[in-house]
Structure 1
Amino acid sequence: MVIMISLAPRGAPYQLSMLVLLSLPACAIPAEWTVVPSLRMRESYTDNMNLAPPGQAQGEFTTELAPGIAVSTDGPHLKLALDYSLQKIHYTHRADRSTQQLDAQGHADLMRDWLYLDARSSISQQNISPFGPQVLEPTQATANSSTVRATSISPYLQHHFHGLATAQLRYDYQRVASGGLLGVRSDDTNLRLTGDNDGQGWNWDMRADRKHIDDNALPPVSMNDTALTLSYPLNSRLSLSATGGYEKSDYHTGGAQPQGRYWSAGGNWTPSPRTKVAASVGRRYFGNTYSLDAEYRMHSMFWSLNYNEDITTTHGEFLRIQPTGLSDFLYQLWAARIPDPQTRLQTIKVFLLISQMLGPDGNVNFFSHRYFLQKDWKLATVYTSPRSALALSLTTTRRTAQSSSAIDSPLLKPDELALEDRTRQSAAQAGWNWRMSPRSSVTVGASHSRAESLSTGRSDRNSVLTLALTHQLQPKVSASVDLRHVRHTSNAGGDYHENGIGAALTVAF
């Protein structure tokens, strides 16, 4: 059976679809489905709706009506989580408007040990640039925000040949669009063979990848990558690996051609079930490369430290799968505290949203048609007690453009084309949740971020404080009150501050 869920308003630039394939009837096993329609009503006020400097700020009351639906199942052949809402926003001094929020992902086993399908889709409001006013909630509207629609559909064949290898042939179709600002489609075909040595001695992994990218502002781009990895376990806790390969891309660059041989060497250390460290060092056509992925779990605490560097794009970052370490840890730890899975997921989502306010890592994935060398550092931790949780994160993202700024002329003013040649974004974030009673909780969030243009010297800072109180009135009715204080400063001018308050009532059916 095939289910097509189409979520796009009439007249939208294209029809956004989420394809979910259920397991074949002949081998289907009944699974429990959870379908929760909801309605959220919210009244809010801000003293600076347009995020303008003092003297130009405009206060505004807003009324938000947001019907939504959450669908989930976790069966043996299908895993699906979909959360969609449509916000109808009424303003007192400007025209009404509508926004959408969608977060959906699914995995289906269509033919066990042969045919599978992964799919993801999202609709979200994103800041266009890290420089200038930063939108924090759907009611705000500035020239520095836009709606982004992203979709990925990936069927693949996978089979285990005992004693030889596991083979996977995957096709991935991706699409990212945001009005006339972004419009990118890509087709990716990947073949991967992983040796089967039953965990004894040397093993190998070979992959070949070919991607074709169509950007509405650029000529088509092809990217090819072929690599072989050899690994050897020194013991049950430590293994070493080495990779060699060749890559070639044909996007236009003013420097070295994006092609050549590459190599890396590293290891995986797992001294206990609670600790793991993976690290590597290597070299690619743009220079030396390093990576680090470390996690440490305690009964009530989780730590993670990550470093990664790669060639990336704006649309690629919108489709990147974010690490789930913190959310997985909270989901397991809060099983006794919040027994209902849906309520637990929603509580975790709100908690992480408040403690990570400008994006998944506190930094802005700014709009661009260019290719970048991106280097990311992230240190994150969460500590929990029976009634509270504290999350902290420190992040730094550096981007160095690999292609000409001229292709971004539709996005930037002529005197701003060099603004994003080299950038550095840093953020410190904290979130604290206290469960005052079985039905009431308070969440406090604080964030300070800095966006720097290393090529022009511009520096923008954003500080945010939030407070949210929630109370479960009835099993399916909850109320919340939220407060917000924002300060933005820049050495290029445009400083502003904003205060907001809102009260919401959410009913699940």
Structure 2
Amino acid sequence: MVIMIKLCRRGAPGLTMLVVLSMPGVATGAAWDITPTLRLRESYTDNMNLAPPDQARGQFITEVAPGVLVSTDGPRLQLTLAYTLQQVAYTRRPDRRNQQLDANGHAALLADWLFLDARAGISQQNVSAFGPQLIDPALSNRNSSTVRTQSISPYLRHYFRGLATAVLRYDYQHAASGGLLDVRSRAASLQLTGDNGGRGANWDLSLQRTQMDDAALAPVTLSNAALTLSYPLNSSVALFATAGYEKQDYHSASAQPQGRFGTLGGVWTPSPRTRVSASIGHRFFGQTYALDASYRLRSMFWTLSYNEDITTTHGEFFSVRPDALSDFLWDLWATRIPDPQLRLKTIQVFLAISQMLGKDGNVNFFSHRYYLQKQGQLSGVYSTARSALAVHLSRTDRSGQTTNAIDSVLLGPDQLSLTDHTRQTSLQIGWNWRMSARGGLNVGASHARARSLTTGREDRNSALTLSLTRQLSSRVSASADLRHVRHTSSAGGAYRENGVGASLIVSF
């Protein structure tokens, strides 16, 4: 607990409050699992700075990374926290220190009334989708930066029998990265969901107002009001319609960001294993489409999604990654890997192998602009008794809605039009083979393309990784890995990088 409080004092007020709430009273009856860890790693790269071949320099890297894993899953408090302090020593350059933090918590302060959600993170991120791309935090280039995120969201929720379920929420978010980004948002929302007893038509009313404070811009206010009506035609088909009004006062370079909007759609659920939701609508920027589909068998799971929305770099950092694939693997591997901690670690390694360039394969590049983002994703996993194969295909289009002049500090005056309209596509494949009860093989491959549709620049990034893992004892595991990375660009600066390493992880 002392470790958690020290971490929270270093920039995670949301987690600080959760730690306070986890004291006796809130955490009554909860079992805590606090596991200190130590990772030792020795590796070699033949291109430390991800530079062109004539400038590539090899280097040995030594890492010492103490950390802590904290979790509890009680009736009134759920918390998971993973923190690592990475001390990196190089043979030809000064030592460096990195931090990684991934923490999520939920607390029920007053049963059926008052709740609290909190998140915090520290990670190394690529600044631009163009140029060298960092996939190993031990390496270094000018296109990466440490991002710190934190959010805290207290809310009131209560069920009024025969009327509605009401949720009144306040949400504070902060994302910062040195002098490149510093964005805060404060949002208040009210959601009312009608109580129809599970029969006939139902309704949902949503009201939201958000204040965005970007250190590089004037404050922006975003307001939204929407009413949704739904009606089940039968046990497997339901229709819904949404009407509302939105107003966003950022200075748009095209359509005024406000006006009425509407959506028509339906949900088809022919079985508990299959679900398809689709809609078509209209907003101030034009016609919109959305799709969310999933299909599940005993050993296979697929998801397909498409959405269109106005977004920002800050907003994408706080978007919640779907966890359907990890939930599927958690249930599927319950008998194969009965140890919960080992199973969770295996799933995390497996998904990390197949998703090396970001949560969806594409780069959430730094910008102070507002974008119209159109994103489609296809994800699937197929598992047998001893192996699993995951595939992820993604395409993301972004069109700038505000002037590019506000990104002059990030891009430079001669590159301002680079991100006016971008298209990123990526394909990621991961394969896991459980060779024995204690050992496994992971293979990952990815290929991503980033294209500026305004300037014509195109960058391609490919990566191939292979790792062997071995559980030496209940508290000690070892791994060895190989990596090959290629980068090409129509603007020059192509490079290759090869790496090899070995790690030892001890849990205390």
Cα distance change on mapping 1:211 and 1:343 into 2, 3 Å: same
Distance 1:24 1:79 in 2: 13
Q: Report matched runs for 1:472-483 at 5 Å.
A: 472-483=471-482
* Unaligned stretches of 5+ residues in structure 1: none
Is the Cα–Cα contact under 8 Å of residues 355 and 430 in structure 1 kept in the other structure?
yes
Residue in 1 aligned with 2:5? Answer: 5
1:16 deviation in Å?
Answer: 6.2
Q: Which residue of 2 aligns with 1:368?
A: 367
Post-superposition offset of 1:15 = 6.3
| Paired position in structure 2 for 1:47 | 46
Partner of 2:429: 430
Gap regions ≥5 residues in structure 2: none
CA distance in 1, matches of 2:57, 2:8: 31
Provide the C-alpha distance between the structure 1 equivalents of 2:206 and 2:12, rounded to a whole number of angstroms: 33
Q: Return the alpha-carbon distance in structure 1 between the equivalents of residues 452 and 130 of structure 2.
A: 9
Q: 1:345: Cα distance to partner?
A: 1.0
User: Once the 2 structures are TM-superposed, how far is the Cα of residue 267 of structure 1 from its aligned partner?
Assistant: 1.1
Give how far 1:5 is off.
Answer: 3.1
Query: Which secondary structure does the structure 2 equivalent of 1:502 belong to?
Result: strand
Work out the percentage of aligned pairs sharing the same amino acid.
64
Counterpart of 1:113, as a letter, is D
Report how far residue 87 of structure 1 moved. Answer: 0.2
CA distance in 1, matches of 2:78, 2:48: 40
**Cα distance in 2, alignment partners of residues 404 and 394 from structure 1:** 31
Shift of 1:376: 0.6
**Count of equivalent residues:** 506
5 Å matches for 1:267-346?
267-346=266-345
Equivalent residue number for residue 223 of structure 2: 224
2:442 corresponds in structure 1 to 443
Aligned-partner Cα distance in 2 for 1:2–1:55? 49
Q: Does 1:399 align with 2:398?
A: yes
Name the CA distance, whole Å, in 1 between partners of 2:318 and 2:337.
Answer: 30
Distance change >3 Å, CA 2–CA 292, structure 1 → 2? farther
Provide the C-alpha distance between the structure 2 equivalents of 1:17 and 1:244, rounded to a whole number of angstroms.
34
Q: Match for residue 92 of structure 1?
A: 91
The Cα of 1:112 is off from its aligned counterpart by 1.0
TM-score under structure 2 length normalisation: 0.97
CA 1:53–1:77: 2 relative to 1, 3 Å: same
Shift of 1:254: 1.5
Residue in 1 aligned with 2:416? 417
> d(CA) in 1 for partners of 2:233 and 2:14?
47
Partner of 1:261: 260
Output the CA distance in 2 between the equivalents of 1:226 and 1:3.
43
Give secondary structure in 2 for the equivalent of 1:410.
helix
**Distance of aligned partners of 1:459 and 1:297 in 2 relative to their CA distance in 1, 3 Å threshold:** same
**How far does residue 234 in structure 1 lie from its aligned partner after superposition?**
1.0
Residue in 2 that maps onto 1:113: 112
Q: Deviations over 1:163-207 (max 9, x none)?
A: 000111000000000000000011000001110001111111001
| Partner Cα distance (1:25, 1:480) in 2 | 40
Query: Which is richer in helix?
Result: 2
Q: Is the partner of 2:200 in helix, strand or coil?
A: coil
Match of 1:59 in 2: 58
Distance 1:17 1:495 in 2: 42
Q: 1:28 to 1:217 in 2, by over 3 A?
A: closer
Structure 2 CA distance for partners of 1:165 and 1:3, relative to 1, 3 Å = farther
Cα deviation for residue 6 of structure 1 reads 4.3
Distance 1:119 1:73, change over 3 A: same
The change in CA–CA distance for 1:32 and 1:171 in structure 2 (over 3 A counts) is same
Deviations 1:27-74 (A, max 9, x none): 764122111110000000000000000110011101000001011111
The one-letter code matched in structure 2 to 1:208 is L
> Whole-Å Cα distance in 2 between the matches of residues 437 and 24 of structure 1?
41
1-side partners of 2:23 and 2:477: how far apart? 39
Contact 1:23 1:109 (8 Å CA) reproduced: no
Aligned residue in 2 for 1:492? 491
Distance across 1 between alignment mates of 2:463 and 2:331 = 29
In 1: Cα distance, 2:90 partner to 2:278 partner: 51
Letter in 2 for 1:318: F
SS in structure 2 at match of 1:7: helix
- Structure 1 outlier segments of 4+, above 6 Å: 1-4
| Residue 22 of structure 1: how far off its partner (Å) | 3.7
Distance 1:74 1:28, change over 3 A: closer
Alpha carbons 1:6, 1:17 under 8 Å: kept: no
Is the 2:26–2:109 contact (alpha carbons within 8 Å) kept by the matching residues of 1? no
Deviation at 1:318, TM superposition (A): 0.4
Change (3 A) 1:364 1:286: same
Deviation at 1:235? Answer: 1.3
Matching residue of 1:193 = 192
Give, in whole Å, the separation in 2 of the partners of 1:211 and 1:311.
14
CA distance change for structure 1 residues 357 and 27 in 2, over 3 Å: closer, same or farther?
closer
Change (3 A) 1:179 1:27: closer
Q: What amino acid does structure 2 have at the position aligned with 1:189?
A: A
| Corresponding residue for residue 355 of structure 1 | 354
The letter of the residue matching 1:178 is S
Output one character per residue of 1:92-117: Cα deviation in whole Å (capped at 9) or x when no partner.
11110100111110111111110000
Q: In the alignment, what sits opposite 1:203?
A: 202
Q: What TM-score comes out, normalization by structure 1 length? A: 0.97
Aligned Cα root-mean-square deviation (Å)? 1.6
Letter paired with 1:157: L
Amino acid in the other structure paired with 1:78: L
- Which is worse superposed, 146-155 or 341-350? 341-350
CA shift at 1:335, angstroms? 0.6
Change in Cα spacing, 1:201 to 1:24, as seen in structure 2 (3 Å) is farther
